[in-house]
Chain A
Amino acid sequence: MHLVCCLKQVPDTAEVKIDPQTNTLLRSGVESITNPYDLVALEQAVRLKEQYGGKVTAISMGPPQAENVLREALSLGADEGILLSDRLFAGADTLATSYTLAKAIEKLNQESPVDLILCGKQAIDGDTGQTGPGIATRLGFTLFTYVIEIPWIDINKKQIQVKRKVEGGVEIIRGPLPALLTAELELAKPRRASLPLLIFSLRAEVKVWKAEKINADQQKIGLKGSPTWVKKIFPPPLRKGGPKFDTQENLEVAVEQFLDNLLADKKFADSLLGRWET
């Protein structure tokens, strides 16, 4: 099987903070990580390789430092890492991104037919979940989103059966290969890289592909290929914080004051004590 895994480097958004006075992002010490959902997709890809034989190609679109994402992929079992990095790719929204990744996978497909593409269900910085479906649509691959399990793959009949999360339950659906699936967290728990592979990944060469290499139409990539533009930016409507009572001095007093403050508004207090029946 030739499996392709798409990964994205994202800021660790749990750590990104904003300066409330200047509305600027506080970047010092914010590390970049590999999108956690993509690591789940990668783990599943590697397991399928181990089960059915074949190879896993990891690709990522990003600035030069996104190379770390591919090295991480190599340490976790990917056979090859390709970074799509070009000034021309900058400023891309999801439409241009899915175009770029689809062109790259098309190129990979020419050398060795791709059977399955695995992506994370969404990136934790954008949270749009649009890129995977976009790639599938462009390549004409069968699309399965929010996959939580892969019961079986029949390589000869070119069929795959997956379990996916839908509103209100789980759907079992079967369809033809080649396919693209987006991974839910439950799909596979990422492994800890083995020491030999970790050392291998530190030394390995990560290929860098530019727009020319993937025959990209320059009108469809980067900023030029992005229909949506940002008009303006502003801080989210922030609530103002109220008093906080410290239990360090006296626990009982603090809790007492807290409750008094909570129930100070009579209407709210009545509502709460009436368990919201009013």
Chain B
Amino acid sequence: MAKNKKGVEIAQIIPDRCIGCQICLGECPVGAIQITSAGVALIDPEACIGCGKCFQVCPVGAVRFERKRHFPINKEKREPEKREAVEFRGVAIFIEVVDGLGAQVSWELVEKGKELAQKLNVKVMAFILGYQIQKIAEEAIALGCAEVHMVDHPLLKKYISQPYGKALAFLCTEVKPEILLIGATPLGRDLSAVVATYLNTGLTADCTDLDIDEERGLLLMTRPTFGGNIMATIYCQQHRPQMSTVRPRVMKAGEKDFNRHGQVYYHDLTVADTPVCEIIDFIREVPQVGGVDITIAPALVVAGKGACDPSSLPMLQELADLVGGQVACSRPVVEAGLMPYERQVGQTGKTVAPKLYIGIGVSGAVQHLVGIQGSEKIVAINSDRHAPIFQIADVGIVGNYLQVVPLLISGLKKKLHTAGR
């Protein structure tokens, strides 16, 4: 092991593995670690005292250090507040209300919540806020919730951050669930951040997987980081509830069974008399010509940066029609003003999982790929043979799309004709 001038056996960063998360920086008791301009950690050998804390906390094994048995290193970083942890029980799901019904994403989370609750041997509960929402309680029970906790109040008729945030936080302090799941819709993302701050607890957004560490009874939340380059599994050790948001269509909803039973509890809303916001109007989105929901299309023709040409749109639409799908796009196309945001696929757009994904001029930036991983078949047309999308495409063509797509269209028409369609 390396030693510094004082003969102390020091820790060293392995730059290629370092992801710049800075956890080691905070842990170092003598401030011997800094982040270089390249974004990786660097240990000052002369300042290092060889305690090995950085080695312990590094999540990616980017610290080279061989511990000698000189100091017993304390594994417990903080005093566990045991009382708090034991008092919180149950898996709660926030049910978002859309047009008087429970949102589909909320039911997807209820199904997942049941799985988690089973592993923990606790109840699944629905938390519902709104006005005149009794029907939704019935839905929640039909989908398997053992308990439903409601705050039914005129002030909660429409979503406004503060009253909803306070009400949901209030429910959590009353009911004390150990886990709270919220659908990552615009409303859900807004609400979850407010609630997590009120409750001073950890929130992990856009999780793609949820599981239980059965040994410690902790929720394990997996999400993409660094634009999707790396998946991270995160946990919230002490703070409660452990909060997580999940995007629509990542989990699967269960079947409704109206023979199921459950308890419904009504809670009173206690809100201080602070001036609240006033919703003046709601302008429903005028659906585009042939109102399109790209998330339910069985096939998608996706235009990327390399196909950012307005004159080629009719051709792409023709291809989409032929394969029974819709036209969508990646972020650069929206930023160029060629298609509306509603058609954007990717991490900051919509997650899609069509049966057939055809990427045209899509390079395959990781943030885009994260939004299409669930597609059954991914095919790509790109003039750059080194484009990353070819690394995951089931089949691809290297060529100019303006030449390839017309041939593809005529080829498909022939096949359709032969198949008698």
Q: Report A's interface with B, CB cutoff 8 A.
A: 11, 13-14, 16-18, 20, 22-25, 27-28, 30, 32, 63, 65, 87-88, 90-91, 93-95, 98, 122, 124-134, 136-138, 142-146, 161, 165-176, 185, 222-224, 226-248, 251-252, 254-256, 258-259, 261-263, 268, 270-276
The answer to whether A13 and B227 touch across the interface, beta carbons within 8 angstroms, is: yes
- B190, B232, B380, B390: which has the most chain A beta carbons within 10 Å? B190
The listed residue (B282, B341, B396) touching A242 by CB distance below 8 A is: B396
Q: Which of B116-124, B131-139, B254-262, B272-280 contacts A (4 or more CB under 8 A)?
A: B272-280
Q: Give min CB distance, B322 to chain A, whole Å.
A: 9
Q: A87-B31, A125-B226 are in contact. Are A172 and B202 (CB under 8 A)?
A: no
Name the B residues within 8 Å of A65 (CB-CB). 37
Name the A residues within 8 Å of B225 (CB-CB). 125-126
Besides A228-B203, A230-B21, 9 new A-B residue pairs in contact (Cβ under 8 A), listed by A number: A13-B366, A87-B31, A90-B35, A95-B202, A166-B187, A245-B398, A252-B407, A258-B408, A275-B421
Chain A minimum-CB-distance residue to B399: A247
Name the B residues within 8 Å of A268 (CB-CB). 355, 376-377
Name the B residues within 8 Å of A13 (CB-CB). 226-227, 229, 366-367
Please, how many angstroms separate the alpha-carbon atoms of A238 and B205 in the complex?
Answer: 22
| Chain B 130-186 interface residues, beta-carbon cutoff 8 Å to A | 159-162, 165, 185-186
- A18, A144, A170, A228: which has the most chain B beta carbons within 10 Å? A228
The listed residue (B16, B31, B59, B397) touching A24 by CB distance below 8 A is: B16
Name the A residues within 8 Å of B279 (CB-CB). 171-173
Per-position contact with A for B6-27: 1 when CB-CB < 8 Å, else 0?
Answer: 0000000000110101110111
The answer to whether B230 and A259 touch across the interface, beta carbons within 8 angstroms, is: no
Say whether chain B's binding surface is mostly helix, strand, loop, or mixed: mixed
Q: Give min CB distance, A69 to chain B, whole Å.
A: 14
The answer to whether B231 and A27 touch across the interface, beta carbons within 8 angstroms, is: no
Chain A minimum-CB-distance residue to B19: A25
The answer to whether A24 and B17 touch across the interface, beta carbons within 8 angstroms, is: yes
Name the A residues within 8 Å of B404 (CB-CB). 247, 251, 254-255
Q: A25-B230, A168-B285, A248-B398 are in contact. Are A91 and B23 (CB under 8 A)?
A: yes
Please, how many angstroms separate the alpha-carbon atoms of A217 and B56 in the complex?
Answer: 25
Chain A minimum-CB-distance residue to B192: A130
Name the A residues within 8 Å of B226 (CB-CB). 11, 13, 16, 25, 125
Name the A residues within 8 Å of B231 (CB-CB). 233-237
The answer to whether A94 and B193 touch across the interface, beta carbons within 8 angstroms, is: yes
Report how many A-B pairs have Cβ atoms within 8 Å: 325
B263 at the interface (CB under 8 A from A): no
The answer to whether A244 and B385 touch across the interface, beta carbons within 8 angstroms, is: yes
The answer to whether A95 and B399 touch across the interface, beta carbons within 8 angstroms, is: no
The answer to whether B283 and A143 touch across the interface, beta carbons within 8 angstroms, is: no
| Chain B 174-222 interface residues, beta-carbon cutoff 8 Å to A | 185-187, 189-190, 192-194, 196-198, 200-206, 213, 220-221
The answer to whether B230 and A91 touch across the interface, beta carbons within 8 angstroms, is: no
The answer to whether A239 and B201 touch across the interface, beta carbons within 8 angstroms, is: no
Name the B residues within 8 Å of A145 (CB-CB). 161, 186, 189-190
The listed residue (A238, A247, A252, A259) touching B412 by CB distance below 8 A is: A259
Please, how many angstroms separate the alpha-carbon atoms of A271 and B159 in the complex?
Answer: 42
Q: Give min CB distance, B134 to chain A, whole Å.
A: 22
B394 at the interface (CB under 8 A from A): yes
